Amino acid sequence: MTTYREAVREALREALIRDDRVFLMGEDVGAYGGCFGVSRGLLDEFGPERIRDTPLSESAFVGAGIGAALGGLRPIVEIMTVNFSLLALDQILNNAATLRHMSGGQLGVPLVIRMATGAGRQLGAQHSHSLEAFYAHIPGLRVLSPATVADARGMLWTALQDPDPVLIFEPIALYNSEAELPADAGAVDIDSAVIRRAGTDVTLVSYGGGLRVAEAAAEELAGDGISAEVIDLRTLRPLDEATVLASIARTHRLVVVDEGWRSVSISAEIAARAAENGYYLLDAPIARVCTAEVPIPYARQLEEAALPQPGVVAAAVRKAVS
Amino acid sequence: MTAVDDGAASAPGERIELLRQMIRIRRFEERCVELYSAEAIRGFLHLSIGEEAVAAGLLGVLEPGDAVVSTYREHGHALARGVPMNAVMAEMYGRATGCSHGRGGSMHLFDGERRFYGGNAIVGGGLPLAVGLALADSLRGRNTVTVCLFGDGAVAEGEFHECLNLAALWRLPVLFACENNRYAMGTALKREHAVTDLSLRAAGYGLASWPVDGMDAVEVAAAARRALESIRGGRGPCFLELRTYRFRAHSMYDADRYRDKAEIEQWKARDPIPRLFAELRAAGAAGPDAQVKLEAEVDAEIEAAVAAAESAPLEPITDLTRHVYAETR
């Protein structure tokens, strides 16, 4: 069995071995071994030039990653969590996402930024938010969220081949999750959503940390004879709308599970696109199960109550199919 | 001011070139004012009139492989870096032949071939890019320097402090060049900084740092040479505080009510163009008509650029969404 954490580490090792332009840079990535233990051992293997500890200066080291990409390297920048990435939002939005267009196509930024996202570890509001939608709003970026161990292993290499900035959101609640990983596990497609479970009665759309919740709900519903199809978006920008619409054409019902807040979220985008382009395929109103509109609290029962839970998803599905 | 008199940039030919470049930048921007008033060019227009000695002196001593990161007041920097005037003027017009294909405008001039990386309108936003470019060059074993231009306003931004620390910590080949024109938009230096001697701020991060008379192109060139030599010698980043002044308002929208007219006149008395011309005349290196001759040459170049821009094609609307992502992956 391989953990999600080990899968990301193996992806990093592979990238560092395959391309000498690749280096990893971020807070605690070197001597400490990564805030979440992802890069443990890499400093010894690759040395301090390629596993580069940075000061707590998000804007400077993310911007330096952008500059290094302009200078011909393939940096992987790690930000401890999406909450802290906001200190570098100027660099990500005004430079990484914008330079190619603003320069009339002269300057591309082939940069990968990894960051942890989401709740589930009782870390309180300033470490627990799911802000992927902020970044998925921005033209010029590609936004990924690996929800499985195989995608954690496979997305990084594909992302490094991209000539544009790619943001990878790793849900903190998944780092300890485990799965069997084939010995030849490698690069995966980052253009398409994937059907994780086939079904006929309802389409459950999710991504990242929400996928486990959708899958658990589907399992519960199967016991009641309700067949749910579970789609993992994988890529939040650009969205693979076609896979979602094709599924709705089979199931005629849509429930979206999103660990972001409901307002102005990925779930809002999916629902809007389904309404715009799949309205006549639907036999029931679209439903959404999202995080409660509160800063994520510390206390376990409050944190759990704030997050989407399988039972709530199952209830939304039962209502949709009734 | 620290006198820099090491004999560099003292050859008459080089001084004539500095004069020519300053006149070129001055006359280009004066022409832009007319074109702006005629509504041929739009958007924000930030002029560097008065500050030409920095552009000519600093950028004139760079090697082709060096990188430049600039600000939104960068017409002079782009021209002095060798970005063709036709491409700069066409960008002012938003035309397809512009150096940013009409997507940048006055504040976002780029030239990848000449390693001219903006054109950054976010104050201080270019500093991290410079750190990264220098990191890439140093990791790839190139003996190049990244020159990062910014104003006194940027010294108040967090990125200034983060980036000077990072560049010094990693001993990166960056020349931080602060154009201290004494105003962050309309806010005077003493209203924006607790410590107004900006070269002291850089010294606190361990950078070699010194103030320069930014109204003297010869002195700017000499100081830049000295800094570049130190950086290329592997002694880490340097900081130059180039003390200069803009004779005009922050932008064309600015009524300039925050400055004393007498102050502006005092600085105009130090105008770098007549100053260098007078020096050349005194040294017998330029005749009385040298400036007129240079201006005539420059005006011809400018009028050709205006004519080319006016007849240049528009970037087609069908190409609106090009260059958001790479066309091939």
Above 80 in pLDDT, residue A122? yes
- φ and ψ at B36, to 5 degrees? -70, -45
**Selected residue with higher pLDDT from B277 and A183:** B277
CB contact under 8 A, A54 and B329: no
A-interface mutation test, from B115, B162, B176, most A Cβ less than 10 A away: B162
CB < 8 Å to B68, chain A:
none
Q: Over chain A, what is the mean pLDDT?
A: 97
- φ and ψ at B9, to 5 degrees? 60, 25
Interatomic CA distance for residues B149 and A251, integer angstroms: 58
pLDDT for A184: 83
pLDDT for B252: 86
Mean pLDDT lowest among A4-13, A111-120, B247-256 = B247-256
pLDDT for A304: 96
Strand partners, A114: A78, A168
DSSP state of B134: H
CB contact under 8 A, A100 and B326: yes
Q: What percent of chain A has pLDDT over 70?
A: 100
Q: For residue A35, give Cα distances in angstroms to A53, A194, A208.
A: 11, 30, 19
pLDDT for B254: 87
B119 touching A, CB under 8 A? yes
Determine the residue of chain A that is closest to B121 in CA distance: A94
What would the pLDDT profile of A250-275 be if each residue is shown by its tens digit?
Answer: 999 999 999 999 999 999 999 999 99
pLDDT for B4: 44
CB contact under 8 A, B112 and A107: yes
Above 80 in pLDDT, residue A148? yes
pLDDT for B7: 47
B120, B129 in Cβ contact below 8 A? yes
Please state the separation of Cα B328 from the chain's center in Å.
34
Interatomic CA distance for residues B61 and B17, integer angstroms: 11
List, in order, residues 6 or more apart from B211 with CB less than 8 Å away: B1, B2, B197, B198, B199, B240, B241, B243
B141 touching A, CB under 8 A? no
Interatomic CA distance for residues A41 and A172, integer angstroms: 20
Interatomic CA distance for residues A129 and A320, integer angstroms: 28
Place of tokens 């443990």: A40
pLDDT for B10: 67
State whether residue B14 is helix, strand or coil: helix
State whether residue B3 is helix, strand or coil: coil
pLDDT for B306: 98
Q: Mean pLDDT in each 10-residue stretch from start to end of chain B (329 residues)?
A: 48 93 98 96 96 98 98 98 98 97 97 96 97 97 97 96 98 98 94 94 94 98 98 97 96 89 96 96 90 95 98 96 94
| Mean pLDDT within A275-289 | 98
| Mean pLDDT within A227-252 | 98
Please state the separation of Cα A137 from the chain's center in Å.
14
Q: At what angle do helices B272-282 and B52-59 cross, to 10 degrees?
A: 60
* A/B interface, count of CB pairs below 8 Å: 155
H or E stretch at A247: helix A241-251
A244, A273 in Cβ contact below 8 A? yes
pLDDT for B3: 42
CB contact under 8 A, A68 and B98: no
| Mean pLDDT within A105-118 | 98
ipTM topping 0.90 = yes
Reply yes or no on whether A127 is catalytic.
yes
- Other CB atoms within a 10 A radius of the CB of residue A295 amount to 12
Above 90 in pLDDT, residue A183? no
Determine the residue of chain A that is closest to B123 in CA distance: A90
| Mean pLDDT within A68-97 | 97
State whether residue A250 is helix, strand or coil: helix
- φ and ψ at A315, to 5 degrees? -65, -40
Q: Which structural domains are found in chain B, ordered by start?
A: 7-309 (3.40.50.970)
Reply yes or no on whether A129 is catalytic.
no
B240 touching A, CB under 8 A? no
CB contact under 8 A, B99 and A108: no
What would the pLDDT profile of A15-72 be if each residue is shown by its tens digit?
Answer: 999 999 999 999 999 999 999 999 999 999 999 999 999 999 999 999 999 999 999 9
> How would residue A170 be classed by pLDDT, with cut points 50, 70 and 90?
very high
Residues of chain A whose beta carbon is less than 8 angstroms from a beta carbon of chain B are 23, 49, 54-55, 57, 59-73, 75, 90-91, 94-95, 99-108, 139-140, 142, 161-164
